[in-house]
Amino acid sequence: MINILPSRFAFFISQTYPFLPILKLFFLITNTRQLTTLPSYLCPMKVREILQNATQKFLQDGFGVALNASEIQIQETRKDFEGDYTVVIFPLAKHTKKNPTETAKLLGDYLNHNIEFIQSFEIVQGFLNLKFTDSFWMEFLEHSTHGVHWEAVAKPLNIMVEYSSPNTNKPLHLGHIRNNLLGYSVAEILKAKGHHVIKSSLVNDRGIHICKSMLAWIKFGEDSTPELEGLKGDHFVGKYYVEFDKHYKKQIEELVAGGMDKAMAEKEAPLIKEAQDLLLRWEKGEPEVLKIWGLMNGWVYEGFEQTYSDLGVDFDKFYYESDTYLLGKTIVDEGLEKGVFYRKEDGSVWIDLSDEGLDEKLVLRANGTSVYITQDLGTVQKRFEEYKLDKLIYVVGNEQEYHFKVLKLISKKLGSPWANQLQHLSYGMVDLPSGKMKSREGTVVDADDLIKEMIETAEASTKELGKTDEMDAAEQTALSRKIGMAALKFFLLKVDPTKRMLFNPEQSIDFHGFTGPFVQYTYARIKSILRRHKQDEPDDIIKLSLVELRLSHEEKDIVKLLYTIDEMISEAEHNLSPAVVANYSYELAKAYNKFYQEHSVLKELVPSIKNLRLLICKLTAETIQKTMLLIGIEMPERM
């Protein structure tokens, strides 16, 4: 119950600020209505609303100030100060015409007298830090006995998330890993909030880059196959992409040595002309070319499927450029008729976006072959027509920001109703200590090699620490995979997606650092405690009654984190940021380890306290497991 006690508050006001107008005091004394009665374990958003509404009433009744509740800033109290929630006083002081400290004192007393779950307050440099009662947190724990949860959105959306979208001329590399993990995690977070999500991938299975691999295999492959060379299909095809580049560069050097300008040599080298001719023949549908194209793409798809399985990502729908580029060409023809596009003398088709701060953009080559934007126009139309989407999120690196600006602008100019429903989740590239990666030069960090290395490193680390001594071979293998993949995924996802990052494999596997294995180890430690107690089900562990227990500082830190899970998931959803989830999971694990160092669970002699700590253990383990699954990380029961 949140009571307004007008006579007490009016008396306090009159004693503290006798110069307040008598009319306002009369209003406070005679207005005896109550604020909303709410259980104290409601979600943080509701508690914020309660605090905002109470502060709004304080300003209205005490100072005649009509302020929207949304203008009142309520935030979690910083960890280095005492308190649970903080009211930012500076914006309010200008309305009370008093200094921030006076305003905070008056508001603090008002809230403390009239909101039952506020125990005390502290004023720190214009911030009012509110401390909640232990009974508030105990009620939350009792309400959460069967698990901590988050609320679904009121109006679910139909959202497609596109990620991976590889070229079929090379295997996946480290950059693709970040892309896949981001896309998968974003989709899982959106699903967790109740949205209907379609995970999709646009496979770049045609174009000049594909023809380069095909041509190299035709010229230098001598009818070899992945089976004959003992290679995964995508690695086999990627080998010929590198082979093309090697011979192409040699031809350029020879032409330059003969006196030709380098830029001209890059256009006149025989290999590039042959690749361009192969693309034309493909678009004409020559059976021999299509047969080789289908054969080599088939090899690549088998390789991709294995890598996706190892990464633990999946898709609901695959789109192929070879199926959508013709629709894109039709859209270009329609745009020509509408005057959105124009044709140059050489036959190429363009759009002028200079009025929008960009430049001219090619949408169809002079020889009639399509470019990326052409097939994207076809693909986006197909997707919206097929799934009636509310939103389409492209998870693509920030080097493609220009491309997606162009796609959105062209869609608007064509009158497409979905133009404003396109969103580019632009993420930063991944660097290594050795520098940038280059696919055509064969200097990339291969995804399969990296996955294997992470698992092997995890295996070596666990054996060195003696964590697998009592496990059989199958358990050791499963644990090494879980730890290795957790190290990889957590390291790549803990960084805000928009930031460029440096991936260091050695740092990612550290059982005491800001890592996935640290969170896993914390989970396994909790499960060990619960096993020793021989009760894994919530009803068997806790029959908590509302006794007057006081939470220790370490216990309260955990409970407060559990309490804010709904806000955390909502923030991750709003920002499309798995980093929010990863950081939350780590903070929860860190808080638990601090609690573990200071307090006994199984050896606690007071039954009520022991039960409380067991419940905290149970809820912490369940929450870590749920949140880590959102970023694709499995929890081991033992480590």
Model pLDDT for residues 503-518, shown as the tens digit of each residue: 888 788 888 899 999 9
- Among the residue ranges 175-184, 297-306, 534-543, 629-638, the one predicted with the least confidence is 534-543
How far is the C-alpha of 336 from the C-alpha of 42, rounded, in Å? 57
Residue 536: pLDDT over 70 = no
pLDDT at 29 over 80: no
Least confident of 189-198, 365-374, 564-573, 578-587: 365-374
Sign of the CA dihedral with 324 first, then 325, 328, and 333 last: negative
Is the pLDDT at 155 greater than 90, yes or no? Answer: yes
- Nearest to 204, CA basis, from 230, 167, 256: 167
Which class would CATH give 6-132?
alpha beta
pLDDT in tens, 412-450: 999 999 999 999 999 998 887 765 444 444 456 899 999
* Rounded Cα distance, 26 and 34, in Å: 17
Q: Is residue 146 predicted with pLDDT exceeding 90?
A: no
Length of the chain: 639
What pLDDT is stored for residue 24 in this prediction?
A: 40
- Model confidence over 465-496: pLDDT tens digits? 887 778 899 999 999 999 999 999 999 999 99
pLDDT at 20: 44
Where along the chain do the CATH 3.40.50.620 domains lie?
Answer: 163-431
Q: What is the pLDDT of residue 395?
A: 98
Cβ count within 10 A of residue 443: 14
* Intervals of CATH 3.30.1360.70 along the chain: 6-132
* Tokens 């169809």 sit on residue: 364
Q: Read off the pLDDT of each residue in 119-125 and give the average, rounded to a whole number.
A: 95
Give 366 or 143, the one with higher predicted confidence: 366
Predicted confidence (pLDDT) per residue in 453-462, tens digit: 999 999 998 8
CA dihedral 551, 553, 555, 560 (to 10 degrees): 100
Kindly report the three-state secondary structure assignment for every residue of 225-273.
CHHHHCCCHHHHHHHHHHHHHHHHHHHHHHHHHCCCCHHHHHHHCHHHH
Task: Name the band, by pLDDT with cuts 50, 70 and 90, for residue 28.
Answer: very low
Lowest mean pLDDT among 88-102, 498-512, 574-588: 498-512
pTM greater than 0.85 (yes/no): yes
CATH architecture of the domain covering 163-431: 3-Layer(aba) Sandwich (3.40)
Q: At what angle do helices 447-464 and 174-192 cross, to 10 degrees?
A: 80
**pLDDT tens for residues 365-377?**
998 888 999 999 9
Least confident of 31-45, 166-180, 247-261: 31-45
Q: State mean pLDDT over 115-126.
A: 94
Mean pLDDT (whole number) for 242-252: 96
Per residue in 56-93, pLDDT tens?
999 999 999 999 888 899 999 998 899 999 999 999 99
Report whether pLDDT(535) > 90: no
Q: What is the percent of the chain with per-residue pLDDT over 90, rounded to a whole number?
A: 76
**What DSSP line would sit under 438-488, residue for residue?**
-TTTT-S-BHHHHHHHHHHHHHHHHHHTTTTTTS-HHHHHHHHHHHHHHHH
CATH of domain 447-630: 1.10.730.10
Strand pairing report for 158-162 and 196-203: parallel
In terms of pLDDT, which residue wins out, 166 or 41? 166
For the segment 330-360, what is each residue's pLDDT rounded down to a tens digit? 999 999 999 999 999 999 999 999 999 999 9
pLDDT band at 42 (very low <50, low <70, confident <90, very high): low
Instruction: List every span in the chain annotated with CATH 1.10.730.10.
Output: 447-630
Q: How far is C-alpha 494 from the chain's CA centre?
A: 9
* Angstrom distance (rounded) from CA 143 to CA 133: 16
